[in-house]
Amino acid sequence: MKNIFKNKIIRSALGLSILLVLGCQRDLNELEEASYPKNPEVFIDGFSSGLAYAAFGGSAPKAFQVDNEVKYAGTASMRFEVPDFGSPEGAYAGGSFFTSVGRDLSDYNALTFWVKATQPAKIDVLGFGNDLGENKYQVSISALAVNTNWKKVYIPIPDASKLTAEKGMFFYSEGPENNNGYTFWIDEVKFEKVPGVAQGTAGILNGDAKIVTSFVGVNQNVDGLISTFSLPNGINQVVNLTPYYFNFSSSNPSVATVNNLGNVSTVSGGSAVITATLADKPASGSLTINSQGNFLAAPTPTLPADKVISVFSDAYTNVPVDYYNGYWAPYQTTQSADFTVNGNNVLNYYNFNFVGIQSAANPINASATSHFHADIYLPNALAAGANFKVNIVDFGSNGAFGGNDDSNHVTTITAPTLQGQNWVSINIPFSAMTGLTSRNKIGQIIFEGANIPAFYADNIYFYNDGSIIPSTPTAAAPAPSHPASGVLSVFSDAYTNVAGTDFNPNWGQNTVVSQLPIAGNNTLKYAGLNYQGTQFANPLNVSSYGFIHIDYYTANSSNLNFYLISPGPVEKAYALSVPSGIGTNTNGWKSVDIPLSSFSPVVLSNIIQFKADGNGDVFFDNIYFHN
């Protein structure tokens, strides 16, 4: 089994400016179409004229070398060294051989070469037409079997009439085999007119008749573009090719239109069938669009934003992610054609087997959340045996993929929860994710499926239903509403506090006291509470007030009491409910107004101290007397 690696081909836009200088003695009818060299050679003992090489992004930059020792014929060959899995040199070997000036390849019907390797292997991708630009007429073969013997390979040209100015001469991409690198050689690379190469069938959607449910404003691509050729060695070779080789058409453009790239746009309700031809011959396969008219949006989230860490949703501010579909070659088939309907962004995955949302650059700390949520829509009827899997992956303490500290859990959803042609809201509690031992650095959300060809996704987020309380509040305590004229304040940014209060007298306590800003608001923190006092510079006379107000927040206290103390000492405890909890008040803070009569027999005209005892970490704010 090969490792999944991310194959990023860095494409640069190539521009071409043409300046025509016309003399006065020549008219436009005398101008001839520019011709391009018909040189068929790519690599015969060395680079052909004008040929350049560039490694793909993420690949080992020195994977390709010219080899003067091992060759099929002549004096040199192309040597490709595939790196081991995890190599710092690169994740795979891959690159393109291209020219700055196009070549006319219309006289040929195949790219041919000889290949051998140090071991039996299957090379992921080989082909031509990749010029690091538009790659308009790219053609490739997949999983080419090689061994230690030289063999000749043919990559047929689907329609040579289109290759009158081609720059992409040859490209390759190969990853480790069973985690191990190896070496392969390619020699005598050239385009030929090969007798016995004959085009057989062509197909879109891999020759399947595909039926999808769609909506107005939804776009999708016709893919699975293939063509089969018979070769002189008796093999039927399937090649992958770009949509530029095909001509697409719609049976009902008033319902769905298709452009020359196979991009289908649903424009109204009804049905339309998308078909194609290759070199004027009908291609097998079709895409039937059954449009239900206007798009049915996913349910609008109702959770407050402070309870949510959003990955993808227009209802919230999303955290940064590396990508919503990194395309993990070579095993991933899933492609994406995300769309926007009425201002609502929707992820659209098709050819679905698995797809990953990655946040490796900024791992998500979901420790203060209780659930994972996603809304998914299956545009096709639910097939027998269909299942949908959600795999949450935490990168562990080092925050990086791999190593021994990663953990994950896969949750499988089946019918009747899973439905076709209807939005399904998935809510998975972390308490059910037994394999996920940490969620401080979530780096991947992976969706997998069986018998689900496509789905839409929206409102992907982590949330807290109140069962998980962040250890530190993320928002300030609620702003007090009592008028200052009726308040005697001990600790609050909203009022003028009594002077000289010692918030940390030495009573032999273990509690660690600090004052820190929470969302810009000064807050009193008791860490590791056992007991803690507050000493006033002068006794307070609060006999004219009816209540003491306290805002407090705790995620882990199981016992918390508050005391008023008069000389003697005379003290009386009032039990505060704990933990304060998400949802008990704004942003997790709990506000209490305690009748001063609850502290009898404390002398209200002579309050000298406050005290708190209990356990855990507790935050206090807005401690004041009022009527």
pLDDT in tens, 497-554: 999 999 999 999 999 999 999 999 999 999 999 999 999 999 999 999 999 999 999 9
Q: Say whether 245 sits in a helix, a strand or coil.
A: helix
pLDDT at 502: 98
**Which distant-in-sequence residues (6+ apart) come within 8 Å of 350 by Cβ?**
220, 221, 223, 334, 335, 336, 337, 453, 454
How big is the CA angle at 319 (ends 313 and 322), to the nearest 5 degrees?
100
Cα 223 to Cα 503: distance, rounded to the nearest angstrom: 69
- pLDDT at residue 218 in the model: 83
The low-confidence residues of the chain, meaning pLDDT below 70, are 1-34, 579-587
CATH 2.60.40.1080 fits 200-291, yes or no: yes
CATH 3.20.20.10 fits 5-194, yes or no: no
- Look at the domain 484-626 and name its fold: Jelly Rolls (2.60.120)
Q: Do domains 200-291 and 305-463 have the same CATH topology?
A: no
What is the predicted pLDDT for the residue at 583?
A: 39
The structural domains of the chain, with segments of one domain joined by +, span: 5-194, 200-291, 305-463, 484-626
Residues of the chain with pLDDT > 70, as a percent, come to: 93
Are 194 and 232 contacting, i.e. CB atoms less than 8 angstroms apart? Answer: yes
**pLDDT (tens digit per residue) in 95-112:** 999 999 999 999 999 999
Rg value, the chain, Cα: 35
The pLDDT, as a whole number, for residue 470 is: 80
CA–CA distance from 316 to each of 307, 462, 463 (Å)? 11, 12, 12
| pLDDT at residue number 351 | 87
| DSSP 8-state code for residue 297 | P
Task: Give CA–CA dist 180/471, Å, rounded.
Answer: 45
Q: Which CATH class is domain 305-463?
A: mainly beta
Tell if the pTM clears 0.85, that is, is over it: no
Strand extents, DSSP E, 104-174: 110-117, 121-128, 139-146, 151-156, 166-174
Rounded (5°) CA angle 493-586-374: 135
Q: Residues 598, 603, 609, CA angle at the centre, nearest 5°?
A: 90
Residue 41's Cα: distance from chain center in Å? Answer: 42
User: φ, ψ for residue 267 (rounded to 5)?
Assistant: -115, -15
Dihedral angle computed from the Cα positions of residues 207, 152, 164 and 201, in that order, rounded to the nearest 10 degrees: -20
Other CB atoms within 10 A of residue 188 CB: 21
Instruction: List, in order, residues 6 or more apart from 411 with CB less than 8 Å away.
Output: 389, 390, 391, 428, 432, 433
C-alpha 282/C-alpha 256 separation (Å) is 20
Output the pLDDT for position 9: 33
